[in-house]
Amino acid sequence: YAAKKGGTRHAVYKEEMGTRALERLRLENDLRRAVEDPAGSGFRLHYQPKLGLATGEISGVEALARWDHPERGNVPPEVFVPLAEETGLIVPLGEWVLGEACRRAVEWQGLRPSRPPGISVNLSVRQLRQEDLVERVARVIEGSGLPPEVLSLEITEGLMLENEESILAKLQGLKALGLGLEIDDFGTGYSSLSYLKRLPVEVLKIDRSFVEDLTENPEARKVVRSIVDLARALNLSTVAEGIETRAQLETLKALGCELGQGYLFSRPVPAEEIPPLLTLGPDPSTPEPAS
């Protein structure tokens, strides 16, 4: 009886595996079709403000892809981003995201001309492997009319392991276009100091996992402190991800972190919600009195 039961369970298990594989295949097919016309297939961008922690002013926004699948409803980025990376579909999807974000950012430049808001876009390692990435990015920026200085590309620390000269050359090529480069999820990879020093980046984004533990775990505090010190030594600035509480904010300010993002300030929101946020905070036309 036990053997029979086990056998049945095995069969059910196999069937579940089959269903999951099939499901993945279907989603992959949907994604493959969707990247041909992302906007027409439910893709759109949300934007999350990045703020100066001392002033509370929005320095820019990060574009984050969303997928409202016509039949499945919302497919979260944790599902479609890894699938897009594995299949290489992140390359056309990422290029669409870049164009879309640049066109939006152009609209927002005029809202605060004295301090033009920045726009950050996530760049996949798969995109960095494209031979003609620099030319492609140049074409997209030019097509949008965005001044390249307001654009930053976020690259996850994972790629640092690779230590490839070709990647370094591409980063330098991007840099030469006039845009900025940031290391995303910093602290989760194992980039060596010597490699970090060679990278043409300006910003380290402190991974959310450290921010989350900041007020309870003294070790997380030490990690954040050393990232901020490291950034200072290399002349880079720091952005903390995932700030959810006042206590986290106060600790980050005390540690000298300059910028931050998180639900405490704003979730990623549709483009229409950004303009009113840009004009909040200290009035850009009246500089703060010197203290």
What are the residues binding Mg ion (CB under 5 A)?
122, 154, 184-185, 208, 241
Helix 165-176 and helix 133-144: axis angle, to 10°? 20
Query: What are the beta bridge partners of residue 203?
Result: 182, 237
**Smaller CB separation from ligand C2E, 90 or 228:** 90
Contact of residue 64 among ligand C2E, Mg ion, none (CB under 5-8 Å per partner type): ligand C2E
**Residue 48, number of CB atoms within 10 A of its CB:** 20
Gap between the Cα atoms of 170 and 164, Å rounded: 10
Please, what is the minimum distance in Å from the beta carbon of residue 207 to Mg ion? 5
Contact of residue 213 among Mg ion, ligand C2E, none (CB under 5-8 Å per partner type): none
Q: How far is CA 272 from the centre of its chain?
A: 20
Please, what is the minimum distance in Å from the beta carbon of residue 286 to ligand C2E? 30
- State which amino acid sits at residue 110: G
**Smaller CB separation from ligand C2E, 9 or 267:** 267
Beta-strand runs (E) in 70-165: 73-75, 118-123, 151-156
CA-nearest of 101, 84, 126, 233 to 179 is 101
Contact of residue 150 among Mg ion, ligand C2E, none (CB under 5-8 Å per partner type): none
3-state secondary structure (DSSP) of residue 44: strand
Please, what is the minimum distance in Å from the beta carbon of residue 56 to ligand C2E? 16
Please, what is the minimum distance in Å from the beta carbon of residue 17 to ligand C2E? 26
* Chain positions contacting ligand C2E, by CB under 6 A: 48, 64-65, 77, 81, 90, 94, 97, 122, 124, 154, 184-185, 208, 241-244, 261-263, 268
